[in-house]
A = this chain, B = another copy of it.
Amino acid sequence: MRYASNHKQETREKLLESSRAIVKKDGFASTGVDTLMAAVGLTGGAFYSHFGSKNELFAALVERELENSNDMLAGTPDSPPDHVAKCLRSYLSSAHALHPETGCVLPTLGAEIARAEPAIKTVVERSLKKVHKSWSSRLGDDPDAAWAVMAQCVGALVMARIVESDRTRQEILASTRRSIDKTHLS
């Protein structure tokens, strides 16, 4: 064949990585296959050598996003004690609010996932529960606290992104950080 044996695999990988950022920034439904392919230097027709449909890409993309989030958030049994605190500071930052393309998938694609097929939501659920379990044990075996903290993070980011002024954006993020610190980390 004219291409190395791992060429297809590598191209798919590049496409997936590239698409993650674009889709988190501009939305999935409103981004065309041509745009995603152009971003890795290819044309639209070649897309279908890698994914059977645009929806297959969405599934792969969401799954990859959640694996990535889990790697960053869940931590390991020997993560430092301030692991959660560090995650929270980073998550609830202006940098995160201003750069959806490198951030958490939930605030930016949550609504589109909610409208997706059940199979995708099953994957999402498993992943969410993994983070929840880990954080629950780190928050003194308090499952309620873990869901509450996760909800605050996602919601604060949604709100931080829909306001116009930097000032209000920072107020939302800082308030949420302080409230979590006081309530769950002291």
Question: Which residues of A come within 8 Å of B, CB atoms?
Answer: 26-27, 29-30, 100, 106-115, 118, 121-122, 124-125, 128-129, 143-148, 150-159, 161-165, 168, 171-172, 175-176, 178-180, 182-183
Q: Is the CB of B108 within 8 A of A107?
A: no
Residues of A contacting B: mostly: helix
Q: Is the CB of A168 within 8 A of B111?
A: no
Q: Is the CB of B162 within 8 A of A176?
A: no
17 pairs of residues in contact across A and B, judged by CB atoms under 8 Å:
A27-B29, A30-B30, A106-B162, A107-B110, A108-B111, A108-B114, A121-B163, A143-B175, A147-B156, A147-B175, A147-B179, A148-B180, A151-B152, A151-B176, A154-B158, A155-B157, A183-B183
Q: Which residues of B sit under 8 angstroms from A168, Cβ to Cβ?
A: 125, 128-129
Q: Is the CB of A162 within 8 A of B114?
A: yes
Q: Is the CB of A178 within 8 A of B114?
A: no
How far, in Å, is A89 (CB) from chain B's closest CB? 15
Most buried by B among A100, A144, A178: A144
